Structure formats: structure tokens, C-alpha cells
Amino acid sequence: MTIDTSSLSRRGLIRTAGKVTAAAALTAPFRGVGVGVGGVAWAASSPKTYRKWIYAKPMADNKLTLDQFKMVEEPMPDVPQGKCLIEVKVLNIHSGTRSRLGGQTKLGDTDKSNYACARVIKSRDKSFKEGDIIACQAGWQTHQVISSEDESIGYGPANEMTIALNGTKSHWNYVFRPQMVKMWSPEILMDVFGTSGTTAYFGMRECGPIMPTDQVAVAGTTGSVGALAAQLVKARGAYCVGFGGGPERAKWCVDTLGVDKGLDYRAKDLDAQLKAAFPKGIDVYSDGVGGSLSESIAKLMNPNSRYFSYGTAAAYYDENPAQVVGRNAGRLFGMSDSVEKIIKEKNIKLEAWIVHVFYYDRLKCEDDLSHLLLNKQIKSINNVVEGFENAPKGIISQYTDNPYGKLQLKFA
């Protein structure tokens, strides 16, 4: 069963653009898993160069265009002792990509902090063997050398429990269990079992237990984390209201995710619609947006309710993202003074963190999410841009087309 909701599919860029695919249809084994590719055989058949997209030109008026990208071809790197060579399969694109350009990502460099699914094709690292399917941070490139000694890019050090579990010093570098690879495609591994699904899972867990009597609001419902958070809420039998930018996207939340109501957060009478949707007030709020919507919702939250804040999409999609982030400097995920005041006055439990703080418990999360997928209580919602050459168009589409669910680039 598929529902096509993306205009990008008409351009032939996206294979599953806006399509919601039942989990049972995505359980085919990943080809080549467990087959080592090493030594002389690998050297004889391996390419001599790899391709990479770099940030080539500063943005004008914070508009991301094809001019910002340039493809370069470089010699395949050597693999020194303690490192391994990976082939990138699927790369997630985050809404914060644009804000990193010119800052964390310098001119002439690639954005190295993307979350990726990759295959190890040559290894001299004790933690990775040839043929492993792994999660890691990677650039906009077909191949890359990584190490279990690499620390996370853009984050603090991993705690000792996560290091022991992953066998690496990074929260994001680890080998997927063979059972997971056999059950789920790389796209699902990087969506439901990547940072989106785990953020939704731990967020609802820490704000839980979600009870059937709870009244739950999920902002950013058409995004990757929000779509999964809303489904997790419904799996617990609670009342859930989702939000979309425009009547069509609000309706999508109901038709696709099964929430009880979908509201257009751009509606002029939003406050009135919120009061009608939550006559008993709000018990749990999942917030990946920030901005004015969160202020309206916070006003309706009940005393001793729970608030999960994990992102600031309102800032990432603003025409001047750097300025919006700057105005909210010092506040978690763009939380305003008025929202902070409401939280204190109503004794609301606030959960505000980046998901890596819970990655020591990743295996339990993967098991629980697998159970929900197999029972069709949740489904993966992703948009996959096929082909390395289409990477810039795919990245730009994050801001021009605002795709449903997780935007992913598939290189191989």
C-alpha cells in the first residue's frame, strides 16, 4: 500500500518520495551482507577513485542553490592500520544541513556530520570487519576512511556505556546486528533505527508512560521524528493531535499516521482550533519546532504535564536561520522566555536533550521498534533520492519542498 504525496516524484529524482510503505514490504534482506570483500580480490576489482560533493560557493541571502555544490573526484584513500574503508549506501539529510554551511562546513569541504548506512569494504580496524553493515557519520561522498577511534563530529564524547556497546568512541559509529540487517532495508535502518526513530522512542519513554487517557500534541508531525512520535503515541492508545503547514499536510497526518486530528499551524484561528481539539488540556507535548506554535500549545498544557523538546525546525527553515538561532542563544532548542515561564509555573516536566545520551540502551530500543514494525503499529516514512549525481538537488529539496518524513540520499 502506498500513498504518493510528493511533487518531487514527477521530476524523477525520488524513488519513494512521499510514499508510505508498509513494514512487511521492506523486510527483504540487504544484498551482500556478510560477504567479505578483502585482500587481493578487493584490490583487483576496486575503483581507483571516489566522488565527493563539496561546499563550493557561499550562499546569497541564505538561499541554497546548485551553485553551492561542486563534484570532485579524488584518488581512493589508503587504509592505514586501525582504520577501515567504507562505501556509503544511504545518507540522511537533516534540516540543520543549511545552517552548517559556512560554519561547521567550510568552503571546499564536504559536510562530514551526516548520519549514514555504509558497508565496510576493507578493514584494518579491530571493531569492523569486511562486509559489516554499519551506522556512521559520513560526508557527501561515495567512499570514506573511518576508525573506531573517531569521536563524534559536533558532539561531546560518548559515555563509557555507549563506548562499551558500540566498540567505538563515537555515539554514531557501530555495527548493525546481522539480524537487523536481514530484517530491514538500509533506508529503514537509518530512519526508524537511526536518530529519528530513537529520538521519538526515548522521548516518549522519558515522557511516559504514555497512557490511553493522555492528551498528546505532536509538533513537526510531517517530519521524521514527529511522524514516528505520533505513531508511538497511537500505539499506546492515547489521543493524539498532529500539525502540518497547510490543510493538505494537516490532513496527511490523519490519513497517513492515524492521529485523531490534524491542525494547520498556519491557520489564523489556530488558538481556537487548539482549544477545541484539547478541551481537557494537554498532558504531553512533543516539540521539534519551537517558535510561535510551541507558545500556543504551552498555554494549554496541564499542571504537572510533560514536555519533550528535541529540535528547532522553526529556526532551520526560517529565511535567516542564523539570525533565528542567534536570538535563541542560551536556550535549549529555541525555547522562548514565555514558554520557560509556563513550564515553571505549571511544574511541567521538561525533557530536552540530544538522543545520544541514551544510546547505551540502543539495543532495547531497536528490539522494541522492530516489534512495533512487525506488528504494523508503526511504519517508516522516507523520501529517497536515488543517485550520487542527484545529491545537491535532494539536499535543496529539504528546504524547497519540505518532504514528508526522512529525506535520504541513496548512493549505492
Cell numbers that stand for 325 in this block: 538561532
Segment 8-33 mean pLDDT: 37
Cell numbers that stand for 137 in this block: 557519520
Pairwise CA distance, residues 79 & 104, whole Å: 26
Segment 380-406 mean pLDDT: 95
So what's the pLDDT on residue 312? 65
Same domain, 396 and 281: no
Pairwise CA distance, residues 22 & 378, whole Å: 9
251 has a pLDDT exceeding 90: yes
Residue 289 within a domain? yes
Residues 6+ apart with CB under 8 A from 224: 191, 196, 381, 382, 405, 406, 407
So what's the pLDDT on residue 384? 97
So what's the pLDDT on residue 43? 54
Cβ-based neighbour number of residue 222 at 10 Å: 25
CA angle centred on 277, ends 271 and 283, rounded to 5°: 95
Q: Which among 340, 355, 370 is the end of a domain?
A: 355
91 has a pLDDT exceeding 60: yes
So what's the pLDDT on residue 99? 87
So what's the pLDDT on residue 331? 53
Same domain, 304 and 333: yes
Residue 222 within a domain? yes
Q: Which among 337, 355, 373 is the end of a domain?
A: 355
Q: What is the mean pLDDT of the chain?
A: 87
Segment 377-406 mean pLDDT: 96
Same domain, 19 and 132: yes
Pairwise CA distance, residues 128 & 166, whole Å: 11
Q: Answer whether 287's CB lies under 8 Å from 200's CB.
A: no
Same domain, 137 and 221: no
Residue 2 within a domain? no
Residue 390's domain is classified under what CATH number?
A: 3.90.180.10
Nearest to 322, CA basis, from 118, 98, 138: 98
Residue 376 within a domain? no
So what's the pLDDT on residue 291? 84
What's the pTM?
0.86
Same domain, 228 and 268: yes
Same domain, 108 and 174: yes
212 has a pLDDT exceeding 90: yes
DSSP-based three-state secondary structure for 90: strand
For residue 287, the cross-strand partners are 309
Same domain, 330 and 205: yes
**End-to-end CA, the chain:** 25
Q: Answer whether 223's CB lies under 8 Å from 328's CB.
A: no
So what's the pLDDT on residue 104? 87
Which run of H or of E encompasses 118? strand 114-123
Residue 363 within a domain? no
Percent of the chain's residues with pLDDT above 70: 84
So what's the pLDDT on residue 332? 58
So what's the pLDDT on residue 323? 36
Q: How confident is the model at residue 276 (pLDDT cuts 50, 70, 90)?
A: very high
Same domain, 16 and 135: yes
Q: Answer whether 125's CB lies under 8 Å from 170's CB.
A: no
Same domain, 180 and 33: yes
Same domain, 177 and 201: no
Q: Answer whether 398's CB lies under 8 Å from 95's CB.
A: yes
More confidently predicted of 245 and 326? 245
For residue 28, give Cα distances in angstroms to 157, 182, 201, 375. Answer: 35, 7, 24, 16
Residue 345's domain is classified under what CATH number?
A: 3.40.50.720
Q: How confident is the model at residue 24 (pLDDT cuts 50, 70, 90)?
A: very low
Same domain, 123 and 200: no
Residue 361 within a domain? no
Residue 63 within a domain? yes
Q: Provide the residue type at 334 as one letter.
A: G
Nearest to 266, CA basis, from 296, 293, 301, 242: 293
Owner of C-alpha cell 574503508: 85
Q: How many domains does the chain have?
A: 2
394 has a pLDDT exceeding 50: yes
Domain residues for 201? Answer: 195-355
Residue 148 within a domain? yes
Owner of C-alpha cell 565527493: 52
So what's the pLDDT on residue 17? 38
Segment 248-274 mean pLDDT: 98
So what's the pLDDT on residue 356? 93
Same domain, 161 and 28: yes
pLDDT digits (tens, 9 = 90+) for 283-323: 999 999 888 899 999 999 999 999 999 976 444 434 444 33
Which run of H or of E encompasses 283? strand 282-287
